[in-house]
A and B are shown apart, each in its own frame.
Chain A
Amino acid sequence: MAENSSELFDAGHRACGGCGPALAARLIMKGSGENTIVVASTGCMEVFSTPYPETAWKVPWIHSLFENAAAVASGIEASLKRQGRDEHVICICGDGATFDIGMLCISGAFERGHNITYICYDNEAYMNTGIQRSGATPYDADTTTSPAGKCSTGNARPKKDLPAILVAHGSPYVATASIAYPNDLVKKVERAVNTEGPCYIQVHTPCCTGWGFDGADTMAIGRLAVETGLWVNYEIVDGELEKAKKIVNRKPVEEYLKAQKRFRHLFRPGRNEEEIAKIQAIADRNAKKFGIDIALKK
């Protein structure tokens, strides 16, 4: 831990160079501040930030299991309430812990209305165990358990719409964000921790190792996801869409896909026009649903 640093998620962790989740952790802590208790799930971030006896966290931090962060946070929140304490309780968990194995605990915590903020750092697969697909893995992505092959174009299903599920739980604040838009992310975290009730933020965190791109390009990849409409940054407040980031002259998805090895099977040996068109259709649907398109003549 760097003693003279003001970062609450500090240097000295063991993440890959260009790790999207590590950057997310730093930005999340800027938004939440030092009066925060962090609950982590098992996963990349837990492993790279807290190998005993070292820690990168300058706020109280607890990891219990893979799938129970929301339940542990519920207990912490209840305890703080009993003690008259006012720390923010935030979960920072990967997409496997959130979309898949932790769903039950999240649903329970949101339905009960605990005053917690649950933040999913979404790198779209189980990266800690070696890039296996999760419910957050996008359509056609090649992972070790949804491999592209002679009779497979990769992951067979689109991403689960988890924010919609949490909106349906009556969450007062559900937002998506991206590390490629740092100020937006910090503001959303600030807003969530200051909103009473269970809030959810899903942060797009490109993973250079799992997605197959150079660690220097993390921000560029994150931006391309938003600029193509495959990722939309939005805020839903009390069930109503309040804001979605507009995109001027949305780029074709191909620009995003081509930049990552997880989609390279769509381009070699030949272009798979049919599959690329399906992914473009996903982006087009996103754009329509959230009304993000601004077309300017070049």
Chain B
Amino acid sequence: MMKIVEGSHAVAEAVKLCRPQVISAYPITPQTHIVEALASMVADCELDAEYICVESEFSALSGCIGASAAGSRTYSATTSQGLALMFEVCFNAAGMRLPIVMTIANRAMGAPLSIWNDQQDSISLRDAGWLQYYAEDIQEVSDLHFIAYRVAEDHRVLLPAFVCFDGFILTHTYEPVDMPTQQEVDAYLPAFKPYQRLDAKEPISMGMYATPDYYMEFRYEVDRAMQRARDAYVDAARAFADQFGRDYTGAVEGYRLEDADTALVAMGSICGTVKDAIDEMRADGKRVGLLKIRSFRPFPSEEVAAALKGASTVAVLDKNISLGQKGAVALEVKDALYGSGIPVLDYIVALGGRDIRKRDIAKIVDLAEKGTGDMFYGLRTEVL
């Protein structure tokens, strides 16, 4: 059923439809509306779940580890500083192969303190062993939760997943969303069947320590699971498309890319602005296209290389910066295009909530066409 709904409430509604049994969460701007909505659903008996109102993000995810290990479908949500406080817990959840799903309302990292959007938070956790999916709009972020649970809990995968959407830009805006019914979601997402669980009737030890004789093999297994998540994602997204008619089967998605000379690459809500800018530039005769990255982990290198092979210049819009290097997405794209000879130019944009408009996208395309890149775009002039 179509309804006009705030992004955070759409996520909360989607999470409810996934029937999490334990929610363990801590409030932080701009994620708060999600956990508030879920708390209300539990208080009104609309959602039959345990809601652990923890004292920190560190405990939020630690609680999910316990609940998931004991055999429950679990959920949390956070952003920025909260995610950073979970740093060690994130690695642990992945290493223990617990299919927790967590929404990230992407926000900048302090200092200086900023509650506004960029993607530095989740991207900084790229090596933690979590699947990372990025949504462009509110319909997509809602739908990605159903898919993320399917992929995470797939016994080929058994890894936790971030579903990322841009703080404020998507969390606090309203869009029309087609929300499935409980019956439809139940048909798509079966009840959680843990691969193993803590159970006094069948005792196992979980989270043992590994000497140098064994440690590497555990890491290898996590990476293999990441690789298998590529197929598992496509399977889950295809089943979703078959049932609901909305197609997210691509780990990447091209927009007017086929004959593009300049290909932009981006993740998240900025893709909407870029698409509008492209339409205007196309009307002016510029051959410009967009490659949207939906899955950042695992990174779809082959799909990226195939999609960009016809471009003469690639311009990556990074809402993050690996300080002392470049934006993280550009590095991934460069790796994917290694040996192709296609130049990849990086533009650090929209950090800490700085607005980026269609005319900025057009300017970046101009810069890219002149070969000028690997820069922060849109800085105040006094620092230059």
Residues of A within 8 A of B (CB): 34-37, 39-40, 46-47, 50-53, 55, 57-65, 67-68, 70-83, 87, 104-105, 107-109, 111-112
Contact = CB atoms under 8 A, between A and B. Distances in A.
B206 interface: yes
A31 B59 CA distance: 28
B64 interface: yes
B66 A79 contact: yes
Contacts of B88: 65
Contact of B55 (A40, A76, A108): A108
A59 B203 contact: yes
Contacts of A112: 52-54
Contacts of B54: 71, 74, 108, 112
Given A47-B209, A73-B66, A74-B63, A79 B56 contact: no
Given A78-B50, A82-B49, A104 B58 contact: yes
B67 A75 contact: yes
B22 interface: yes
Contacts of B67: 75-76, 78-79
A53 B215 CA distance: 11
Nearest to B205: A55
A51 B208 CA distance: 6
Contacts of B124: none
Q: Can you list the 6 inter-chain pairs with the closest CB atoms, starting with the nearest? A: A75-B66, A108-B55, A71-B62, A79-B70, A75-B63, A71-B59
Nearest to B88: A65
Interface in B58-94: 58-59, 62-72, 74, 88-89, 92
Contacts of B206: 60-63
Given A60-B200, A72-B65, A72-B66, 16 more contacts: A39-B66, A46-B209, A47-B209, A52-B208, A52-B210, A60-B204, A62-B66, A62-B207, A70-B59, A71-B63, A75-B69, A76-B70, A82-B22, A83-B70, A108-B54, A108-B56
Interface string B195-206: 000111011111
A52 B211 contact: yes
B21 A79 contact: yes
A81 B49 CA distance: 10
B24 interface: yes
Contact of A65 (B21, B74, B89, B203): B89
A87 B54 CA distance: 22
Nearest to B213: A52
B66 A63 contact: no
29 contacts: A34-B200, A40-B207, A47-B209, A50-B209, A51-B208, A52-B208, A55-B208, A58-B203, A59-B203, A60-B198, A60-B206, A62-B69, A62-B206, A62-B207, A63-B206, A65-B88, A68-B58, A71-B54, A71-B58, A73-B66, A74-B59, A75-B52, A75-B68, A75-B69, A76-B66, A78-B22, A87-B199, A108-B59, A112-B53
A63 B198 CA distance: 12
A36 B200 CA distance: 6
A60 B92 CA distance: 18
B72 A79 contact: yes
A133 B69 CA distance: 33
Q: Most chain-B CB neighbours within 10 Å: which of A35, A53, A72?
A: A72
